[in-house]
Amino acid sequence: MKPHFLTLLTAAALTIAVAQTRAQAPVYLDVNQPIEQRINDAMKRMTTEEKVALLHAQSKFSSAGVKRLGIPEVWCSDGPMGIRDEVLWDEWEQAGWTSDSCIAFPSLTCLAATWNSDMAALYGKSIGEEALYRRKNVLLGPGVNICRTPINGRTFEYMSEDPFLNAQLVVPYVKNVQQNGVAACVKHFALNNFEVNRSSANVIVSDRALYEIYLPAFKAAVTEGNAWAIMGSYNLYQNQHCCHNKRLLIDILKSDWKFDGVVISDWGGCHSTDEAVANGLDLEFGTWTGGKTWGRSNSYDNYFLAKPYLDGIKSGKYTTTELDDKVSRVLRLIFRTSMSGQARWGSLCSDEHYAAARKIAGEGIVLLKNDRNILPIDASKNPKILVVGENAIKMLTLGGGSTSLKVQRELLPLDGLRNRFGAENVTFARGYVGDTTTTFDGIDTGQKLADHRSAQELTDEAVRMAKDVDFVIFVGGMNKSNGQDCEGTDRASLELPYNQNNVVSAIVKVNPNLIFVNIAGSPVTMPWLNSVPAVIQAWFIGSEAGNAIADILSGDVNPSGKLPLTFPAKLEDVGAHSVGEYVCKPSFKVVDVEYKEDILVGYRWFDTKKIKPLFPFGYGLSYTTFSYGKPSIDKATMTADGSVTVKVDVTNTGKRAGAEVVQLYIADLKSSLPRPAKELKGFKKVQLNPGETKTVEFTIDSSALSFYNDTKKQWEAEPGAFEAIIGASSADIKGKVKFELK
């Protein structure tokens, strides 16, 4: 049957109409067009009011889009260890959803303890998929601030004390978050190394320390990881708040590093419209109404980058130059994420994500001591085990500030140990009572932790039960309460809280087979160390904590973690407390904090000053043993535009397969400026079967030899003699080889 003439005419007209519609469609909607062209097209269609509305929050975790043009909102989520539960529009209390539970991944100190960029990539991929499934455009993490002092309340949220280690791990983390179409917002830029007075402390630091210690991980995230967002920090630097700091945001981030992403304020980190406009802030979150008060219905319109900014533009106080730059950055973020045109779905609480959390935790747990080879515990012999300690039964995924999570499940250490060694073989004694709070921001774990017995009664019970078992596993450490590992406060001291030291000392007198499991995001002192045969550093390891700890103690996983932090014997040994200044008393006035230890942070301080720590940076044991050959170098000299290769053979001399982290440090043997005794410039994690040998290679170029010359305002590799140092830790040196830069 032939088509009717009118039918043909109608079809032709429809084809023409569709073609005309496509031709007239906004370019910014066409995902096949270059992003910059889409940005320019969208900006031409926006009013000034719509542009300003794009630059500040409309709720606790979202900013407005442009509904008229079909440009969606931007939704952010804490945080670096899991996707935070949904909160009410303008409250911190949870919204009451039943579909917003998540997996808690290990703390970033645990990730850094893996010394494995593959684990960083797996972490980023997994948490990015969870963020995508929850329709988040921006993941507020990872945190890469340097762990200058172990009593910083947020140490557990960051990675390490070393800029090179942080830089090597942040790049794969960022890339793999963003492959999901979710922006990684690297934080907190910069010099946020304390919590008390975090909004009123003005950091005084040399340019050398700034460039050599505190900026490298951020630079790597931007220039190598292509991070789409950066979060400013609360503190001040050069007497300007870092969320609108000209030196950091304009001169360094956007000019020197060519950052084309969005600078987001920390929540409440903006303090001035003038500075926010001029000094590089793009997206403002969390400011109280007018920066001063709570609770007005139009509070978001009174943000510094809201009505005050719009009024200033209309009055001629501000030009639109800065406005258009900020808007283009926010649009670029949107076109990279929710309007990228790529179909992505993500996944939430999947078996693969639980497996990833468990694997990362297993690689990050550090075996600190293992006298008499007491570990691993052979489950086939049905040993009788007493588990002691509140941290064996307390959910630690809740609390701590922005890392607090509403998890789908959290397998506790006691349950993990019972699953692995048999419930009939594992008994429990409380040992100590810490913080029995089980609620945070409206989430209640449902646990009943109250115990009104005295410290002596708890100790006596643990000692009595310890006499009749083969092993005692003391699961202690810190929690995420105020004064411990917690945002907004710093730790009260390096000591273990809640009478734990006394309990450990009492138990080991009646049962010498005691294994101490330290669940904490930062170092603690261990006055009983000489009498306790085994210690593992378990960090905060999230949903799979019980399984991961059981994996290590049973030997199902051979520990391969290495410390990313120096564990000092006492706080006074740390540079920030020995010669530096550390904020410890709350103040509403601006307080100067000078980093007098300068570039000597962490092991740099301990090695250079020859101070013996409790456990050194890079340290960690295995259930097997490794031997190192003599390191060699392919040539004794190198030129500034060349490189040298250092090689070393590593052999598994034990009876179990295992992984060793081979570390390369560089020492400048003669420098015109003071330098640390040595600096980490390479590491590789190598898996070896019993009797197997592998050759590990490191390539060194002039950048690994450079220091920042703050007089010349440039990086400089000074000709002369250097030493490549191979170590199993910063203190366990396996070999050295000299070379010369010409």
Query: What residues act catalytically?
Result: 266
Cα-based distances in Å from 561 to 112, 326, 338, 630: 9, 42, 37, 24
Contact 538, 549 (CB under 8 A): yes
Query: Amino acid letter at 168?
Result: Q
How many Å from the N-terminal Cα to the C-terminal Cα in the chain? 87
Beta carbons within 10 angstroms of residue 214's beta carbon: 25
Contact 43, 328 (CB under 8 A): yes
Token pair for residue 659? 């992984």
Token pair for residue 560? 């391969």
The separation between CA 590 and the C-alpha centre of its own chain, rounded to angstroms, equals: 27
* Nearby residues of 433 by Cβ (< 8 Å), 6 or more positions away: 390, 449, 451, 453, 455, 458, 498
Query: Amino acid letter at 515?
Result: I
Closest by alpha carbon to 221, among 265, 177, 181? 177
Crossing angle for the helix pair 545-554 and 413-421, to the nearest 10 degrees: 50
Q: What are residue 427's DSSP bridge partners?
A: 386
Tally of CA atoms within 13 A in the half-sphere of 317 that contains its CB = 13
Contact 54, 327 (CB under 8 A): yes
Token pair for residue 363? 């690689």
Q: How far is it, in rounded angstroms, from Cα 672 to Cα 650?
A: 35
Helix segments in 27-107, DSSP class H: 35-45, 48-53
The continuous run of DSSP H or E covering 517 comes out as strand 514-519
Q: How far is it, in rounded angstroms, from Cα 684 to Cα 661?
A: 6
* Nearby residues of 445 by Cβ (< 8 Å), 6 or more positions away: 395, 398, 438, 439
Name the CA dihedral angle for 150, 151, 156, 160, rounded to a multiple of 10 degrees: -30
- Nearest 5°: the CA angle 605, 611, 613 is 95
Q: How far is it, in rounded angstroms, from Cα 214 to Cα 601?
A: 10
Q: How far is it, in rounded angstroms, from Cα 561 to Cα 552?
A: 11
Helix (H, G, I), strand (E, B) or coil at 527: coil
Q: How far is it, in rounded angstroms, from Cα 329 to Cα 306?
A: 17
Strands 366-370 and 534-537, bridge-based pairing: antiparallel
- Concatenating the DSSP letter of every residue in 555-609 gives TSS------SS-B-SSGGGSHHHHTS----S--SS-EEEE-TTTT--THHHHHHH
What does R_g of the chain's alpha carbons equal in angstroms? 27
Token pair for residue 211? 């460039």
Contact 715, 669 (CB under 8 A): no
Token pair for residue 122? 């797996």
Token pair 């490189």 is found at: 643
Contact 111, 119 (CB under 8 A): yes
